[in-house]
Amino acid sequence: MNGTIKTLVKDRGFGFISRPGETKDLFFHSKDVVGVTFDELQVGEEVSFEVVEGPKGPAAANVQRAVAGAVAA
């Protein structure tokens, strides 16, 4: 699934991803970022991820930069 980084709280190591067609943003933690460091991510950047059930509801896991030209799942 693809989405866009909406918020990054770099000093606390988490952020939120917005998804097309969804009103609620997904939480993700810096430990769930793969392929780049959390600090390399930017607000507005497109990412791919998996939706998992976190302690407070749906969350994003395996967050990575989206591949150019990839089709959203």
Range of the domain at 53: 2-65
Task: Write down the pLDDT at residue 28.
Answer: 98
Residue 17 lies in a domain: yes
Number of domains in the chain: 1
Q: What is the CATH number of the domain that holds 33?
A: 2.40.50.140
Assess whether pLDDT exceeds 70 at residue 69: no
Q: Tell me the per-residue pLDDT of 16-26, one tens digit each, with 9 for 90 and over.
A: 999 999 999 99
Structure tokens at 43: 């607000």
Q: Is residue 73 part of a domain?
A: no
Alpha-carbon span 10 to 53, nearest angstrom: 23
What tokens appear for 23 in the block?
A: 């009103």
6 within some domain: yes
Residue 70 is assigned to a structural domain of this protein: no
Please report the pLDDT score of residue 30 as a whole number: 97
**Greater confidence, 19 or 71?**
19
Does residue 72 have a pLDDT over 70? no
pLDDT (tens digit per residue) in 34-61: 999 999 999 999 999 999 998 899 999 9
